[in-house]
Every structure is written in structure tokens, then in C-alpha cells.
Structure 1
Amino acid sequence: RRTAGLCDELRAEGWEPKIRERTGLVIDPYFSATKLSWLLEHVPGAREDAEAGRLAFGTVDCYLLSRMTGGAAHATDRTNASRTMLYDIGRLDWDEEILDRLRIPHTLLPGVMASSGTFGLTDPDQLLGVRVPISGMAGDQQAALFGQACFQAGDTKNTYGTGSFVLMNTGDRRPASASGLLTTVAVGPDGSLAYALEGSIFVTGAAIQWLRDGLLLIDAAPEAGALASAVADAGGVFFVPALTGLGAPWWDPYARGTIVGITRGTTRAHLVRAAVEAMAFQTRDVIEAMRQDVAVGPTELKADGGASAMDVLLQFQADLLGVRVRRPRVLETTALGAAYLAGLGEGVWSGTAELAEHWQEDRAFDPRPGDQADRKYRDWRRAVERALRWEEPPGPRSPEESPATKLL
């Protein structure tokens, strides 16, 4: 979070509306733009190398493409470019004004292509001695959206990993979020351009890892599901896992982790259950924001990622949202989506209608009747209030400047 100060400077200069309109993102250290600017300013020789053409920038996909093609290709796709806070998702090009403000040379940046199509050929000397086309590329969450067969407007998925990412396909509509969400490029039917609303949750499964490695409450992450199921609820405990600040919809880099409601009766099972329930509570935070932005919410939620294997999580999620939650047989939907994009690019499949037939359900979780989930959610929001703006930002900053304040 070392570029939080630069992000504050950009907000003070009035860049927030312009960056949100053009890139679909909020100003936050999470994205590439301020990180790259910091590196150019602080790494000895970096700016000189960049201006001399000896340095190239790209997200991880771009680096892998370059390595796999023996340096022949320096390219990325629209979905990855849209995560840098440097890419205009309306014009589908790098934004020169933002680049100038951050003093980032345009020559550093890769070419941008559609997600399905030939990006280059592998160099036999670099990869398994073969020359094959690289024909699919997407950001992990857009790939997961595609792998979940969320091809139509309104289709929604959540990937429960170390963090969680809720995406709703909005078709050719590019909604400007007023509720702390991101507008991002997605992939539509047959690989066409589409947009999505996204809520990026920084810490979900990583909180389980912290309980394992930091507090030693469990020996292995897979134990969390069984331990959480061993108690009926969290016993009034709420864990706000703001271990690296809070992402959507709060966007508060100064929030810090908070556990409230502990009593003498609290056990390690209650703490683990609170961490599991926090995944679902944060997902509802995002879904509530989506309902505000597009006037309707999802009619169902498709779930994937490692933590989605926990039945206790998905049942609680269904109760909180009041909609069916569906888990596919294939949980690694990011890899599946990338494979689908490559296959479309090479003609393996005729189109997304054929791909949709491949999606298979493992289990569905329907919401249980009653208002207990809503009462718990109100208490969750009280806990979030205590976590927000806990760390003092450097320099003067009024409460009105915090995106989190607008949501309370």
C-alpha cells in the first residue's frame, strides 16, 4: 500500500471522476498505475531505461506471453489492460492524459488485443520444443466469468479465493458505478466485447490462512469448513478481515482487521466460523452495491474457487442474498475460461452456445426462510464501521474525502 499517498494526491487534484469515467476504476494502490509510477520514480535507472526503450511494462499475462514467444510478442488483452488504471475502456486504448500525469512513457506499454485470437506462437527453445499458437488471454476474474458460462447480461459469479471477486455481466452497457464498484471489460457471446460490474474483495480465504499461520488455530486451511460447521453460528463474533485495507465497495486502504463480539464462551470454532461468514458478508456488501447501480440484483449466483467447496459457506451465502447459489462440478473456472477462449480462437468450439452446454452443476443451495440472516447482516455493518479509517492517513484528510464515508 506504499502508493496510498500518491492516490490521495490524485484525489486532491480532482482526478477521481475522470479516472472512474475513463478506466471504470477507483483510485487505489491496488491497481498498476501508481505502482508503475512509483517504480519509475524510486528504482535507480528505471526512468532512464524506460525512456531509452530498454524497459517494458505488462501485467503477468504480458510477461508470460513474452517469455513463451521468446520475446517476439509484447501484448495483452482488453480485460487485463482494463485493470491497470491506465486504459480507457470506452475508446479501448491507453489514456495519454493519465500517462502524462503519472509520468509513464507510452512506449513502455503493450499492444492490446481482444481476448480470443492469436497473440503469437511459442518459441520451441522456450517451451517444450513446440511451436503452437497462443490464442486466449484474459484476466483471472473475467476468465472465471467466461468459464462459468456467464455470457448474458445479468449473469453473476463469485470466485472465493484468497480474495473474492464478484462480477456481473452487463452486456454492451457500461454502467458508471456510484456505489464503490468497478466497471471493467469482460468477454461476451462468441468472444465479443462486453462489460461487467465488479466488486474486488481483498481478503477472504487469506483470512483462513492467517488463522492458520498467524494465530495457529488450525493446522491446514481445509479444516476450516468442518470446524465452522461444528457450531451453529459464530456466537455473536464478527471478523472484518481488513488485513490489507478494505476493497469494494469501501475502498479504504486505512481500514484494519477487526474482531468484535468475543466473550468467555467464544471458541476457536466460533472464530473460524466468523472468518467463513465474513466471506459471505463481504459478498453481500458487493451485491447490495450492484443492486443500487443497476436497479436489479442477480437472480442466482454461481460460485467457484477453492473456498466454494465449503457447503457451510455457500448455504450461508444463499441465506444472506436470498437467491440460489450454484456450484459447478469444475471449480477451476479461471483455467476453464482461458481454455474456452483459446478454443474459440482456434475454432475448436463453434461459439458460446456450445460452451454453455458444457456447464454442469455440482450442487445448488437455496435460501432458508426467516430473517435471521438480515439481522446478522445489520450487525456485520456495525462491525465494518469500527474497522474503517482505523489507521491515520499521512497528512490532513477530511472524512468527506473517504469513499467509505459515503456508504455508511
Structure 2
Amino acid sequence: MTTVLAIDQGTSGTKAMVVDPAGSVRAVTELPVRPRYLPGGGVEQDPEALLESVLESGRAAVAGAGLPIDCVSLANQGETVLAWDPRTGRPLSQAVVWQDRRAAGICAALGSSAELVSERTGLVLDPYFSAPKLRWIRDHLTREGVVTTTDTWLLHHLTGQFVTDAATASRSLLTSLDTGAWDPTLLELFGLAEEPLPHIAACDEIVGETTAFGAPTPVGGLVVDQQAALLAQRCLEPGEAKCTFGTGAFLLANRGTTPVRSGAGLAASVAWRVRGEHTYCVDGQVPTAASAIRWLQDLGLLRHASELDQLAADDPEGVLCVPALAGLSAPWWEPEARASLTGMTLSTTSAHVVRAVLDGIAAQVAELADCAARDVGQPARRLRVDGGLTRSRVLMQAVADLLQTPVEVYPSAHATALGAAGFARAALRPELPLADAVVDWEPSTRYTPRLSADAAGAFRARWRRALQHASIDRETP
């Protein structure tokens, strides 16, 4: 085994972690990087703040561990993009975050090509993915420099290279699901054919060297944050699924080594490319999970997420929430959808609203799990979960109840970074099977359904009817 500095650059924070050869976490540093939410669906971050958080957290973790580092790995947000100057590394725009919906008009204008995009990429023509936001930057912000996902910019500062990874590239709407390569037809469609394109590296590839954290150190094990968590949770066989509860909630199911498109409204993409072979996954997103909890905080309904279980009502008393505060992604793909709270009366309290938001997040996860089950051909035996909101027993029990499936909580708060560390080990040791590059684990908590199947079905039927209040024009799948 090797000692890895694994960096998880996420939407709400950057986490750097040193993992020793035994797989133990020797030091962790986490720094916040709160996005700015703008009128009109805009969500932005300061690129310099992202870079500074990577450098500061990484250096602090290395200093805290007191160990020589054999490799640096990076997990990234996946679909967050920016413009930057490749000569100086200077950002030329803010980072446009994956939640940003301002490119919805670009997708609408390309609506006649939606089927072509879906067939070639496995994804849906939606502003959630990278290409529409890259086009929006070119149309509205700047024609200068290059436009890429944030990982390419960060890696340029660390290594001087112009590179992304196979999983991140597959989230762009610009690569072929079958080959994993940039697709000329899609580049032309989005008006990006003349743009310089980064090298697409395998997730077990050493892409360069950095001195940002001390002595010269190889950089490898690059991957999207959610795919890193899929590996950490050892969802290595087709059909195994996990859900990460972070800024959003992201459910991914392993689909094996065949590039199969989703028939249930999910996105299909590369989970990772390792040992010369692609592994694929289907995934769905709840755009607002922890960000919905922050919204409750901003409204003054709670002070901190740690109060959720204390403040949530035992029964929402008929109050229903569709937490589409940043639109709806899979399986509806309605970027213009709006959140709704229904069923309120004069007796409704803040406790009912808090509980309804938690139930609404759980209901969306249950819908995604159903879609994944249709794609895989059978329901998952269990759902493995990680992320900050797994600390809410109320939310996790609601997920188990509505899925009617056991929920197993990952025992560490660092699934993404641990997954990135696994890819880094695979990069440094080509003889190591991927399954041996990540440590085994037992759940810290296991939730089993307490609600009857009939009661769960009745709630989900009422919640689906509430979707019509979220400005959805077509029927729910």
C-alpha cells in the first residue's frame, strides 16, 4: 500500500486527507467554499477560493500527518466549469456550478437534437451537465482563454498539465459513451469544435508531478467525487448502489463494463476507467439536499443541521415538500421546476415543515432507486449511503421506509476522499486489483423499513401528486 494525499474538492468545501499504507486516515483538513446563489438560477464560486482551499487544506493535512506522501489524488465536482488563461492560469470567469440553471435556454434551443445527444452520451440534454454551461460562458462572459471543468484548471496549477479524467469527461455531453473519447459531432453541436480539449486520462493514470505540498510527488487517481464514493463503498458488482447525501443527493448504481443507456430517465456515464477498461454506472441527482437544509437555516427554522432530528416533527401532519429549489434532475429533467410546500393549515408548525423537507428528499431518492432498479432489472438488496446528512436518523429512516430496502451507513465521513485514495493506489501499483485498492468496511448504522409497504406506497403516491405544484409540464415518469 502507499501513502496518499487525497483531495476532495466539493461544492460546499474542500477536504484533504492523508491515508497511510494500512488504509488509516492520519490527518484531515476541511475548508468551506460556500457557493453564491444568484437570481435567475445562477450558482457561482470564486475559482481562486477553490484553488486556495485545495492548497491550504492539502498542506495542512500533510503537515498534520507527518508522513512522506507517495501520491496526490483529486476528486472533483464533475460538472462545474470556468474560463481561464492557459498561459498564466488566471481565471477569466467565475466557476459556474453544476447546480446553475442559466444554460436552460441553450438546451431548449437544441431540443431537436436531444435524442442524438442521449444516444451518443448516455446523458440527458440538460444544463446540469458541462457543455451547456461552457457554451453559456462563451455566449455571455468571455471568448478568451479556454473553457473547462474545474479539475482541469486545478490540475494545471498543480502539475502544469492540461488534463481531465474519463469519469469527468463522460459528464460533459461532449464524449461518446461507447468510446470515452471526445465526439466531434457533439462539439460541433454545442459550438465548441474550435476549443482546445484536455487529455482524457484513465482513473489509474499518473498525469504529472506537483511540488505544491512539499517534495515532488506524482499526481494520479483522478475521478468525479460521486464515482469516488461508489468505489469507496465497494459497489464493484453490477446492480450495487450507493447514495451520497451532500449539497445534493446522488444515487449511483454500477452497470458493469457494457455501455448501456438508461431506459428509466437516469444518466448513464463512465464510473471509472481502470486497467484499460471502462466500468459504467447509471445515476440520478437530487439537486438540493444539504442545500435545502441550509435554506431552512436561512429561513430561521433551525440553526444547524445537527438540530434536524430534534426539530423535525414525528408526523408531518399532511404537509408535503417537493424540494426542487434548484429545479429537478432525474428522472424528470425539469430545470425550471420550483419547490413546493403543500398541505399546510393554521396548525402547521416549523417542525412539520422541517419534517416535510426531509421526507421530500427521501421521496426523491426513492424515485431514483426505483429507476435504477428498472435499469438493472432488479431492486438493490441494500442501499449504501454516505455524506453529512446520514447523521440524521430521521432522514435515513425515511429513506429506508420509502425504499422498503435496508440502508447501510458508511462508517467514515470521508468516502469520496477514500475512493480517490483507492484510485491513486491503483495508479501507483499497476499489479494491484481495484478491489484490493480500497479497504473493506462494515456499516456504522443499519436502517430497516419500519413503515409498511402499503403505507410507504400511499405516501409516495401523495408525494407524486404534489409534483404538479413544482411547475412540471409533463406527467411524472
What TM-score does the superposition give when structure 1 sets the normalisation length?
A: 0.88
Aligned counterpart, 2:302: 218
Q: Deviation digits for residues 126-184 of structure 1, max 9, x if unmatched? A: x1332100121100111110111111111100001111100000101322223221001
Q: Deviation digits for residues 370-406 of structure 1, max 9, x if unmatched? A: 22222111111011122133xxxxxxxxx5xxxxx25
Aligned counterpart, 1:239: 321
Match of 2:460 among 368, 377, 383: 377
Aligned counterpart, 1:80: 168
1:125-144 maps to which residues of 2 (within 5 A)? 127-144=212-229
**Does the 8 Å contact 1:23/1:87 carry over to 2?**
yes
Question: Structure 1: which 4+ aligned runs deviate by more than 4 Å?
Answer: 188-192
Aligned counterpart, 2:406: 324
Q: Deviation digits for residues 340-384 of structure 1, max 9, x if unmatched? A: 100111129932333465223201111125222221111110111
Aligned mates of 2:435, 2:134 — CA distance in 1: 40
**SS in structure 1 of the partner of residue 269 of structure 2:** strand
**Does the 8 Å contact 1:191/1:341 carry over to 2?**
no
Q: CA deviation at 1:295?
A: 2.4
Q: Mark the runs of 5 or more structure 1 residues left unpaired by the alignment.
A: 50-54, 390-398, 400-404
Aligned counterpart, 2:359: 277
Report the AA paired with residue 130 of structure 2. S
Report the AA paired with residue 158 of structure 1. C
**Does the 8 Å contact 1:2/1:29 carry over to 2?**
yes
Residue 361 (1) aligns with residue 443 (2) = yes
**SS in structure 2 of the partner of residue 142 of structure 1:** helix
Aligned mates of 1:285, 1:275 — CA distance in 2: 15
Report the AA paired with residue 250 of structure 1. W
Residue 91 (1) aligns with residue 179 (2) = yes
Aligned mates of 1:113, 1:218 — CA distance in 2: 44
Aligned counterpart, 2:343: 261
**SS in structure 2 of the partner of residue 342 of structure 1:** helix
**Does the 8 Å contact 1:57/1:110 carry over to 2?**
no
**SS in structure 2 of the partner of residue 116 of structure 1:** coil
Specify which structure has the higher proportion of helix: 1
1:12-23 maps to which residues of 2 (within 5 A)? 14-23=112-121
Stretch of structure 1 that moved more, 137-146 or 170-179: 170-179
Q: CA deviation at 1:105?
A: 3.4
Aligned counterpart, 1:146: 231
Report the AA paired with residue 476 of structure 2. L
**Does the 8 Å contact 1:189/1:351 carry over to 2?**
no
Match of 1:9 among 109, 112, 115: 109
Aligned mates of 2:273, 2:218 — CA distance in 1: 22
Q: Mark the runs of 5 or more structure 2 residues left unpaired by the alignment.
A: 1-100
Aligned mates of 1:191, 1:233 — CA distance in 2: 51
Aligned mates of 1:302, 1:223 — CA distance in 2: 24
Q: CA deviation at 1:101?
A: 2.0
Match of 2:129 among 23, 31, 37: 31
Aligned mates of 1:128, 1:366 — CA distance in 2: 44
Q: CA deviation at 1:237?
A: 0.8
**SS in structure 1 of the partner of residue 314 of structure 2:** coil
Aligned counterpart, 1:60: 150
**Does the 8 Å contact 1:120/1:134 carry over to 2?**
yes
Stretch of structure 1 that moved more, 173-182 or 88-97: 173-182
Identity of paired residues, percent?
A: 38
Match of 1:186 among 271, 278, 294: 271
Report the AA paired with residue 197 of structure 1. V
Q: CA deviation at 1:278?
A: 1.3
Q: CA deviation at 1:234?
A: 1.3
Q: CA deviation at 1:113?
A: 1.3
Report the AA paired with residue 5 of structure 1. G
Aligned mates of 1:222, 1:367 — CA distance in 2: 23
Aligned counterpart, 1:393: none
Residue 116 (1) aligns with residue 197 (2) = no
Match of 1:176 among 254, 261, 264: 261
Report the AA paired with residue 60 of structure 1. T
Stretch of structure 1 that moved more, 170-179 or 155-164: 170-179
Report the AA paired with residue 150 of structure 1. C
Count residues in correspondence.
376
**SS in structure 2 of the partner of residue 8 of structure 1:** helix
Aligned counterpart, 1:227: 311
What TM-score does the superposition give when structure 2 sets the normalisation length?
A: 0.75
Residue 100 (1) aligns with residue 188 (2) = yes
Report the AA paired with residue 106 of structure 2. L
